[in-house]
């Protein structure tokens, strides 16, 4: 079997080196731009047998003549081999100003008789779009590269390392020598004195081998030009030039418009430092990820030829700061793509950056993108400390989220307080502020320093009871999300919110409702969202009547009511009884609810939706299902006085603290557990 394969390969090799074709002998033919060459001209009637046919085809755009040389063996290293499958093609094209404007194609073929003549006729027809519209092509090219009557005192040019460089006073142009196949060979920068004096508008060299099986081998693809406007040799003008050359058939249609990143390039300084010493190690990380997770064949699919959808998928695997730093000022397309990444910055939870990456965000990203940031989420005092000197750059910030630390370090409070004062006085566009856990004097700071644009406020307190003794009211707050410990606090809160329109309230305890009638509801209030976080059988758990009396304080004002009750008592599972909560509301237009109870609902078909869970509890809800906003108070847990009723079963208490650090009447609540105390589905 091996001998048969060997004989077959030898036969193919021998055949490829011995097959002869009829080629046109050495001769010259001159044609106008309107002529073609369909038949063998009389001046070229001599033919000869050869394994290869050679042709040189020149287009002179000044004299508008085509010069054909048959039999001109000027193609270097073009001998056919067994790997070439008998067909190759080499092209050289130079296009210069000062009445030197021409294109030369040098061609070799060895697949059939008079393949040289057929190639010439095909290439002339292919070039007609250019030769018949040369003035139009020249104008498009000139407008991309040159600014008429440029009077720049100095010009900046993109350098090989990707950074802008200012040219000396006597140099007024930039140059680019782009290798579309080997990016490491690309050179760009300020023009030399000779190029600046005699500006070569455009130069192209291309060499390609075509095989009979349809494969191609792009061996060379160089584009060079000189231009005279600021940063004209960066990638955006290069895109325009390349698309123009492909449109007019001066380059192969599949020529890469943008060079891909090469792993060999990672050792170059452009990926590590810039002229000003800025660390760009994130570019190494980005490029390494792309090469590890994508198959990008540089001659088939350059990185920048990928569609936006795929690039966004790639970006989703990188840290937000890495994306912004790596692709800032690369070109207009990437600049537009990173706008969403720069406008919404989330540095919390899974997105918390490393110390060095966050330092880079403050020092490198904020100076460039600070005015573009519309939403910012921060976590921890360290982030607040490092970003504080850059707060003046956040002049267009509209939404700010501060996730603090649950500690009582005095330095923590000092940092948070000063940061809050600075951001409120600096960012006049701030319209939404979210703080959790909030410090007890947060309302006082906000009332004293915030601008009238702040309309939405979220304050979630961990242990602190907020201080409502304000000298000024929060007249600008229209929407408030807050968790409180008692009904008394609700009464104090509404007194300082004369313009409130939507109140999202999480109540942790109901001791009594005797003073509910004293609650003064602002006339502007139209929506109440109420969460009762885990009331059950403790003495602080509200009874049905307590809830009824509390809601009645709002019956003449609100148009929309949302109720979220966890571990609801039996009365709430009785449909008629539950609906009686709103019977006295005169303006109510929308009533949504989410109830969790261990009691089987009476007349379940009357509730909008009823589900029985695996632990035999029930949820009763309307659609769309309400979502709690209180993430600090363990909304699925309960405030338990475990000494009061040790024989109870707590349902769905996923995070239930057994040792409370809350004080009641000056005494620390420390439970003693009975043997019959049961915990169901407690995960922590």
Residues β-bridged to residue 178: 223
pLDDT recorded at residue 409: 57
Radius of gyration of the chain (CA): 38
660: pLDDT strictly greater than 60: no
Least confident of 160-174, 210-224, 275-289, 298-312: 275-289
Of the candidates 52, 100, 87, the one whose C-alpha atom is nearest the C-alpha of residue 72 is: 52
Angle between the N-to-C axes of helices 281-293 and 320-327, in degrees from 0 to 180, rounded to the nearest 10: 100
Supply the mean pLDDT for the chain: 75
Separation between Cα atoms, residue 339 and residue 684, nearest integer Å = 41
327 burial via Cβ count (<10 Å: 0-12, 13-18, 19+) = buried
pLDDT recorded at residue 562: 96
Separation between Cα atoms, residue 21 and residue 456, nearest integer Å = 83
Q: Which residue has the higher pLDDT, 671 or 348?
A: 348
Residue 215: which pLDDT band, with cuts at 50, 70 and 90? low
Convert the pLDDT of each residue in 613-634 to its tens digit.
887 889 999 999 998 888 766 4
- Longest CA–CA separation in the chain, Å: 117
Number of residues that make up the chain: 684
Separation between Cα atoms, residue 28 and residue 32, nearest integer Å = 14
- Chain CA centroid to CA 34, Å: 51
How far CA 398 is from CA of 367, 373, 431, in Å, comes to 18, 8, 5
Convert the pLDDT of each residue in 15-34 to its tens digit.
444 567 788 888 888 888 88
pTM: 0.53
pLDDT recorded at residue 183: 64
The C-alpha angle 548, 549, 552, rounded to 5 degrees, equals 85
Of the candidates 394, 387, 329, the one whose C-alpha atom is nearest the C-alpha of residue 359 is: 387
Tell me which range, 5-19, 35-49, 143-157, is most confidently predicted by mean pLDDT. 35-49
How far CA 570 is from CA of 340, 581, 608, in Å, comes to 49, 14, 18
């Amino acid at each position: 079997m091996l001998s048969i394969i060997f004989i077959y390969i030898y036969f193919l090799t021998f055949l490829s080196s011995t097959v002869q074709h009829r080629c046109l002998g050495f001769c010259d033919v001159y044609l106008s731009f309107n002529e073609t060459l369909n038949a063998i001209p009389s001046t070229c009637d001599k033919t000869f047998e050869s394994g290869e046919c050679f042709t040189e085809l020149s287009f002179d755009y000044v004299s508008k003549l085509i010069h054909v040389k048959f039999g001109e063996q000027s193609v270097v290293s073009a001998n056919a081999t067994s790997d070439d499958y008998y067909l190759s093609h080499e092209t050289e094209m130079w296009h210069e100003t000062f009445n030197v404007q021409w294109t030369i194609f040098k061609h070799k073929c060895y697949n059939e008789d008079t393949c040289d003549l057929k190639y010439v006729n095909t290439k002339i027809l292919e070039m007609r779009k250019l030769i018949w519209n040369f003035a139009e092509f020249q104008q498009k090219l000139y407008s991309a590269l040159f600014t008429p009557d440029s009077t720049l005192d100095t010009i900046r040019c993109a350098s090989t390392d990707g950074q802008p460089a200012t040219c000396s006073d006597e140099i007024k142009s930039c140059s680019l020598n782009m290798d579309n196949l080997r990016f490491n060979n690309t050179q760009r920068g300020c023009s030399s004195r000779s190029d600046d004096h005699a500006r070569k508008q455009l130069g192209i060299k291309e060499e390609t081998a075509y095989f009979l099986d349809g494969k191609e081998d792009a061996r060379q693809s160089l584009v060079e030009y000189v231009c005279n406007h600021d940063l004209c040799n960066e990638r955006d003008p290069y895109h325009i030039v390349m698309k123009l050359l492909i449109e007019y058939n001066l380059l192969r249609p599949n020529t890469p418009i943008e060079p891909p990143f090469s792993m060999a390039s990672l050792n170059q300084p452009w990926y590590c430092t810039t002229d000003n010493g800025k660390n760009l190690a994130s570019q190494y990380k980005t490029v390494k990820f792309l090469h590890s997770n994508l198959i990008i064949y540089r001659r088939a699919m350059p990185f920048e030829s990928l569609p936006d959808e795929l690039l966004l998928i790639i970006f989703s695997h990188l840290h937000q700061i890495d994306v912004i730093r790596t692709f800032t000022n690369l070109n207009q397309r990437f600049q537009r793509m990173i706008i969403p990444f720069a406008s919404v910055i989330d540095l919390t939870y899974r997105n918390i950056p490393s110390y060095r990456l966050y330092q880079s965000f403050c020092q490198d990203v904020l100076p460039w993108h600070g005015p573009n940031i519309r939403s910012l989420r921060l976590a921890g005092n360290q982030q607040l400390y490092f970003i504080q000197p850059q707060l003046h750059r956040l002049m267009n910030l509209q939404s700010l989220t501060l996730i603090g630390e649950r500690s009582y370090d005095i330095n923590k409070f000092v940092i948070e307080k000063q940061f809050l004062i600075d951001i409120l006085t600096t960012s006049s566009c701030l319209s939404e502020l979210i703080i959790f856990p909030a410090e007890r004097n947060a309302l006082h700071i906000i009332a004293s320093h915030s601008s009238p644009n702040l309309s939405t406020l979220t304050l979630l307190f961990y242990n602190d009871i907020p201080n409502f003794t304000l000298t000024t009211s929060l007249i600008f707050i229209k929407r408030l999300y807050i968790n409180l410990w008692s009904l008394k606090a609700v009464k104090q809160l509404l007194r300082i919110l004369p313009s409130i329109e939507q109140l999202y309230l999480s109540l942790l305890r109901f001791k009594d409702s005797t003073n509910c009638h004293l609650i003064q509801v602002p006339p502007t209030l139209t929506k109440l969202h109420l969460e009762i976080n885990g009331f059950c059988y403790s003495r602080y758990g509200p009874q049905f009547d307590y809830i009824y009396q509390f809601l009645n304080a709002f019956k003449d004002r609100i148009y929309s009511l949302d109720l979220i009750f966890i571990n609801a008592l039996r009365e709430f599972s009785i449909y008629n009884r539950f609906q009686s909560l709103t019977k006295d509301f005169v303006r109510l237009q929308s009533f949504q609810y989410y109830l969790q109870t261990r009691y089987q609902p009476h007349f379940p078909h009357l509730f909008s939706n009823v589900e029985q869970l695996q632990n035999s509890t029930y949820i009763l809800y309307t659609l769309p299902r309400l979502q709690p906003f209180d993430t600090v108070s363990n909304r699925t847990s309960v405030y338990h006085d475990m000494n009061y009723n040790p024989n109870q079963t707590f349902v769905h208490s996923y995070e239930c603290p057994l040792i409370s650090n809350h004080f009641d009447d000056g005494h620390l609540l420390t439970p003693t557990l009975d043997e019959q105390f049961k915990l169901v589905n407690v995960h922590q």
